Every structure is written in C-alpha cells, then in structure tokens.
Amino acid sequence: MATLKKNPPRHKIRLGTIHADIWLVIPKKGHSFLTVSFSRSYKHGEQWKTGHSFQARELDALMDVTLEAKEWMRQHRLSKANAA
C-alpha cells in the first residue's frame, strides 16, 4: 500500500476558495505516482476551516482547478517529478 511522505505538496493550485494539492506518492514497492486532493476554505464564525464537499455554486471553480491539475500532472510526468 502506498503512503504519503510528510513532504509538502509538489504543486498547489488555487482559484478563490477552491484548492488542489498535487502530491508525489512514493510506495515501498513499485513506481512513484502523482495524486491530487481537492478542498475548499470557508469561514465559520471568525475561524477559517477546510472542507471537502462543494456547493453547486463552487462546481465551476472546482472543474477549472481540476482541469489545471490534470494539465500540470500531464506536463510533469514521473520522470520529471522524480528528478525534482
């Protein structure tokens, strides 16, 4: 099973309150690979929080961030990701 090292994301994308973090996963066996996680920031009272569900009005931004993440991952295939 692959585990994430406690390293920062390889790349971050933000559009308004929608975020994508791209991670390099290095399993104990097998080849390294990239993954992406999505989140959104929102304010609850005076505190900023992070969520992983999206309102209908946020879906356009989520799609844009998803496409940008896909393109970044395509351009940074593992040969490039492992060299960095």
In this structure, the chain runs to a length of 84
Q: What is the structure's pLDDT at 48?
A: 95
Number of domains composing the chain: 1
In a domain, 6, yes or no: no
In a domain, 4, yes or no: no
In a domain, 5, yes or no: no
The rounded distance, in Å, linking the Cα atoms of 47 and 52 is: 17
Q: What is the structure's pLDDT at 31?
A: 87
pLDDT in tens, the chain (84 residues): 555 447 899 999 999 999 999 999 988 998 889 999 999 999 999 999 999 999 999 999 999 999 999 999 999 975 554 555
The rounded distance, in Å, linking the Cα atoms of 39 and 23 is: 14
How many helices (H) and strands (E) in the chain? Answer: 2, 4
Q: Is the pTM of this model over 0.85?
A: no
25: domain range? 11-83
Q: What is the structure's pLDDT at 40?
A: 97
What are the backbone dihedrals phi and psi of residue 82, each rounded to the nearest 5 degrees, phi first?
-75, -25
